[in-house]
Structure formats: structure tokens, C-alpha cells
């Protein structure tokens, strides 16, 4: 009999979460723009992920003089044109996409985990822990992101993609921590947390079984917005020259920087800029549209 009661209780506990997930999914599916953006973003990321397996080396040079800085072709080789050395821009853009997307995903994941941990501690425990973590965030937050990252990048020589990813992640945990701290502090004052404490639940159980699941919608939206910010910062640093040279490892940022410099110095064709810049713009537009859709879908239902 007790087993039946336990099973029934467990089922009852799971039903509200299933209902919330179902409602969120339906609300997201009712937004064709956000769904389309998510599909396009997934396709772009899959293409970038498999690029090194299907594409030739990005440093391969077409030795024929007529293929140097050549305009895009509608058929045959070099669909997006070539650069000043005769390297295929489609291949280099695919490799740049591969590097930039993995760097952005790793930085976003690291910053989100750190932000959840520090923001959760600050919001749940409060007191000196809250004051210490938030003052640390304020200390870093008063310095503009690009300035702090430029200073840090100059001391991490030689700069690699991994170092650049770590530098960005160590700064961008701040907005996640602030959002998580406010959400956890708000949830901690509610009745279900006080009831769990009265029943003897541990702080760990309360955080992972009650607070974190109930605050997941806010965290998801914050992480999605963070992904776009990471991509912009990484591309900006690479464009400004604080990063990996494109001759070593192409990224969308250093390809855009090379195209801009080459256009000014030696008059490279417009196609050198369009391929990486267009890919970057497409990713940012899709991330922002998807983030707006998720924010709307995850918004709590209004009471009738």
C-alpha cells in the first residue's frame, strides 16, 4: 500500500513539470520566427561542426595566378571566391565558423556554470557571501568588457583560441551571476522552500531539486543571450588583432579583420568580407530571435 502511495505521490510531483514543459513547447511552436531561427542556427552549427571532416585544409593555395583574389563563381570551384593568396574563402569561412562556434559554446557553458554557482550561493545564503560575490562582480563590471579583455589578451602571449575563450568566460559570468542571484533570492523567500526547510531538507537538495529547476527558465534565457555576446566579443577581439592569426587558425573575427585590412591596403575584393561577416550576422540574428522566442515561451502563464 505504501508503495502505491509513493508511486502516486511521485506521479503527482512529475505532472506539473510535464505540464509546464508541454505548455512551453506549445508556446514556442506558436512562434514561427523563433522556430525558424532555431532551425537555421542548428543547421549552421552542424555545418561548422563537421567542416574539418569534409573540407580540405584552409591553408591550401591555388597556385594559378588567375585564382588569386578571384570573385565568387556560380559553378565550379571557389563558390565564394578566393583571397589574395588564392585560398578558397568558402573553406576558410567553414573553418572559421567551426573555431568560433566551439569557442563561443565553451565560453558560454563555462560562464553559465560559474555564474549559476556564484549567483546561487549569493542568492540563497545572502550575508557576507552575497556581499563578497556581488562586490567582486561590481569590481569587474565597472570596467568596459572590451577594454578589460584587450588588457588581459596582451598578457596571455602567445594568444590561443583556448586562452581567448577562458578570458571571455572569466568576464561574462557576471551577468549570469546577477540574474541567478536575483532569481534564487526571490524563490528562497517562497513557501515551498520554507516548507522544505521545516521538513529537514538539506541545502543541497533544496537548491538542486527546488530552486534550480524553478529558476531554469531565467537561466536558459540568460545563457542564450550570453551566447550572442560571446560571439561578438570573440569576433571583436580577433578583428582588433588580439587573438590567433588567420594563418594559424581561421576564425570569423580574424577573417573579417584580414578582409578589412586587405581592402584598405591592397584593394581586395568585397567577397573577402562578405563570407565571414555574413555568417557572423546570420548567427547573431538567429541567436537574438531564438532568445526572444524562448523568453516569451518560458514566461509564466498568466492567471485566469
What confidence tens digit (pLDDT) does each residue in 74-85 have?
A: 666 777 888 878
In angstroms, the CA 282 to CA 276 distance is 10
Query: What angle do helix axes 89-125 and 127-141 make, rounded to 10 degrees?
Result: 150
- At residue 82, the 3 state secondary structure works out as strand
Q: Are 109 and 172 in contact (CB under 8 A)?
A: no
In angstroms, the CA 248 to CA 26 distance is 45
pLDDT for the residue numbered 18: 64
Grid cell digits, residue 110? 563555462
Answer yes or no: is pLDDT of 254 > 60: yes
In angstroms, the CA 190 to CA 280 distance is 42
Residues 29-67 have pLDDT tens digits of 888 898 999 999 999 999 989 988 888 888 877 776 667
Higher pLDDT, 95 or 157: 95
Give 108's contacts (C-beta < 8 A, 6+ positions apart).
169, 172, 223, 226, 227, 230
How large is the average pLDDT for residues 123-127?
82
Q: What are the structural domains, with CATH classification, of the chain?
A: 31-58+71-297 (1.10.3720.10)
The predicted model scores a pTM of 0.79
How large is the average pLDDT for residues 83-99?
86
Query: What angle do helix axes 216-239 and 145-155 make, rounded to 10 degrees?
Result: 60
Residues 16-27 have pLDDT tens digits of 556 666 777 788
Nearest alpha-carbon partner for 138 in 130, 128, 146: 130
- At residue 302, the 3 state secondary structure works out as coil
In angstroms, the CA 193 to CA 186 distance is 11
Confidence of residue 124 (pLDDT cuts 50, 70, 90): confident
In angstroms, the CA 104 to CA 49 distance is 13
In angstroms, the CA 172 to CA 118 distance is 13
Confidence of residue 302 (pLDDT cuts 50, 70, 90): low
Question: Phi first, then psi: what are they for 116, rounded to 5°?
Answer: -65, -45
Residues 259-295 have pLDDT tens digits of 877 654 556 778 888 888 899 999 999 998 988 888 8
In angstroms, the CA 33 to CA 295 distance is 13
In angstroms, the CA 38 to CA 181 distance is 28
Amino acid at each position: 500500500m505504501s508503495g502505491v502511495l509513493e508511486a502516486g505521490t511521485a506521479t503527482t510531483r512529475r505532472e506539473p513539470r510535464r505540464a509546464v514543459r508541454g505548455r512551453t513547447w506549445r508556446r514556442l511552436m506558436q512562434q514561427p520566427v523563433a522556430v525558424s531561427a532555431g532551425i537555421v542556427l542548428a543547421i549552421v552549427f552542424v555545418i561548422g561542426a563537421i567542416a574539418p571532416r569534409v573540407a580540405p585544409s584552409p591553408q591550401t593555395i591555388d597556385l594559378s595566378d588567375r585564382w588569386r583574389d578571384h570573385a565568387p563563381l556560380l559553378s565550379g570551384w571557389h563558390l565564394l571566391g578566393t583571397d589574395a593568396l588564392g585560398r578558397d574563402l568558402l573553406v576558410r569561412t567553414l573553418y572559421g565558423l567551426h573555431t568560433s562556434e566551439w569557442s563561443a559554446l565553451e565560453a558560454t557553458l563555462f560562464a553559465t556554470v560559474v555564474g549559476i554557482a556564484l549567483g546561487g550561493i549569493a542568492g540563497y545564503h545572502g550575508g557576507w557571501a552575497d556581499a563578497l560575490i556581488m562586490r567582486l562582480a561590481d569590481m569587474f563590471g565597472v570596467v568596459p568588457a572590451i577594454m578589460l579583455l584587450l588588457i588581459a589578451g596582451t598578457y596571455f602571449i602567445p594568444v590561443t583560441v583556448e586562452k581567448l575563450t577562458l578570458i571571455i568566460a572569466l568576464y561574462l559570468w557576471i551577468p549570469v551571476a546577477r540574474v541567478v542571484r536575483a532569481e534564487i533570492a526571490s524563490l528562497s523567500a517562497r513557501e515551498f522552500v520554507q516548507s522544505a526547510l521545516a521538513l529537514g531538507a538539506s541545502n543541497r537538495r533544496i537548491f538542486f531539486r527546488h530552486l534550480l529547476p524553478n529558476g531554469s527558465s531565467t537561466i536558459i534565457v540568460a545563457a542564450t543571450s550570453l551566447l550572442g555576446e560571446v560571439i561578438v566579443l570573440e569576433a571583436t577581439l580577433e578583428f582588433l588583432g588580439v587573438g590567433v592569426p588567420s594563418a594559424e587558425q581561421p576564425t570569423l573575427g580574424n577573417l573579417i579583420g584580414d578582409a578589412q585590412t586587405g581592402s584598405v591596403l591592397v584593394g581586395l575584393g568585397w567577397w573577402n568580407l562578405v563570407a565571414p561577416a555574413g555568417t557572423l550576422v546570420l548567427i547573431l540574428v538567429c541567436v537574438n530571435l531564438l532568445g526572444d522566442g524562448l523568453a516569451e515561451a518560458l514566461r509564466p502563464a498568466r492567471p485566469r
